[in-house]
Amino acid sequence: MNAVTPALPAPIGLLAELTHRCPLRCPYCSNPLELDRRSAELDTATWERVLAEAAALGVLHVHLSGGEPTARQDIVAITAACARLGLYSNLITSGVGGALAKLDALSDAGLDHVQLSIQAAEASNAERIGGLRNAQPQKFAFAERVTALGLPLTLNAVIHRGNIGEVPAIIDLAVQLGAKRLEVAHTQYYGWAYVNRAALMPAKPEVDRSIRVVEEARERLKGRLVIDLVVPDYYAKYPKACAGGWGRRLMNVSPTGKVLPCHAAETIPGLEFWHVQDHSLAEIWARSPAFSAYRGTGWMKEPCRSCDRRETDWGGCRCQALALAGDAAATDPACSLSPLHARVQALAVAESALETAPDYRYRTIGGAPAAIPEGVAP
């Protein structure tokens, strides 16, 4: 493995958030509430330099993401740069807008993999969730062309109250569309998802049922479809190692060139983020104050500090700790060992029991909602 210093392995993945523009308006979007505008986005030459720096640093995978990455005119040139540099490229796309028109050129440029989002199996529900009419046929046509080109296809479905009953149909759809992999990803409550938490929170029995459905389908579809399951934090026993551990595996470059340890890190006040315009990726990885802030275990408080799992989940998610506990250095309240865990579970039960889910606050550029749900700190 490449190493920046003997003690600091190189990152393996780069999430290139090429733009925040997107034709869809998903209420669970993990993008920040203040979305970057097109006029502030990095230009092609800067992205090509960043990708070259990533390859030199030892990065193996580049996730071309957004927003909708195909909204950029230069997506083919950026993909070609990945191929030239030997970087495995994964296009994370909604499959709508101009995505299909660019797909053949992306394949010719050396694109390695496509991850297509779907909002639900049933078209009217999918289009209600994504906030865009006629999206589903575009997605199906896109998926068909992906497989016709011989590109590996992963389907990603974010699961919440509005589509959790459709998990069996989503699995069937993945098979029908020729996907090799399906991500059944229960909503992570960051960005717009945190604002919409009460509208999205599913009930625990439904979550348990969805997990059983996935486990049964994994057996039934062995050899045809791999199903990844992301379980919901608020009902979990232990948190996930967010981004594989802060500053351990991933770098995230925002549309304007800000480099983040995870896509939600900007929600933590006081962190100093460095920009690709001012520093190389190698400098940022090794020395940026934001990457150093929660790297390793030295920053941890109890109960994480003396916990056997501290180098397994790295204390969970710092952004979730801030949002729920009011302290980014606290144990993630999704952990059953956190003193706040019972309150988190009670909050999830109360929100999921609302007879009528609140209306979605759809993601929009320039439309950040004023009201942010409260956490569970006493």
Binding residues for [4Fe-4S] cluster, as ranges, are 22, 26, 29
Compare residues 304 and 324 and give the one whose CB is closer to ligand SF4. Answer: 304
Contact at 8 Å (CB) between 151 and 114? yes
**Considering the complex, what minimum distance in angstroms separates the CB of residue 43 from ligand SF4?**
21
Compare residues 187 and 210 and give the one whose CB is closer to ligand SF4. Answer: 187
Contact at 8 Å (CB) between 25 and 362? yes
**Considering the complex, what minimum distance in angstroms separates the CB of residue 262 from ligand SF4?**
16
**Considering the complex, what minimum distance in angstroms separates the CB of residue 94 from ligand SF4?**
4
The residues binding ligand SF4 (CB under 6 A) are: 22, 24-26, 29, 31, 66-68, 94, 117, 238-239, 303-304, 307, 309-310, 313, 315-316, 331-332, 335, 337, 363
Report the distance separating Cα 293 and Cα 347, nearest Å. 29
CB-neighbour burial class of residue 149 (10 A; exposed 0-12, middle 13-18, buried 19+): middle
Residues of each annotated binding site: 22, 26, 29
Q: In what order do the strands lie in the sheet with 250-253?
A: 226-230, 181-186, 153-159, 113-118, 88-93, 61-65, 13-17, 250-253, 259-260
Q: Which amino acid is at 58?
A: G
Compare residues 11 and 315 and give the one whose CB is closer to ligand SF4. Answer: 315
Q: What are phi and psi of 234, to 5 degrees?
A: -65, -20
Contact at 8 Å (CB) between 363 and 193? no
**Considering the complex, what minimum distance in angstroms separates the CB of residue 142 from ligand SF4?**
12
**Considering the complex, what minimum distance in angstroms separates the CB of residue 2 from ligand SF4?**
27
Compare residues 274 and 360 and give the one whose CB is closer to ligand SF4. Answer: 360
Compare residues 202 and 239 and give the one whose CB is closer to ligand SF4. Answer: 239
Report the distance separating Cα 88 and Cα 181, nearest Å. 17
SS3 189: coil
**Considering the complex, what minimum distance in angstroms separates the CB of residue 213 from ligand SF4?**
23
Sequence-distant (≥ 6) Cβ neighbours of residue 250 within 8 angstroms:
11, 12, 13, 14, 15, 243, 244, 261, 262
Helix-helix angle 135-148:123-130, to 10 degrees: 100
Compare residues 55 and 139 and give the one whose CB is closer to ligand SF4. Answer: 139
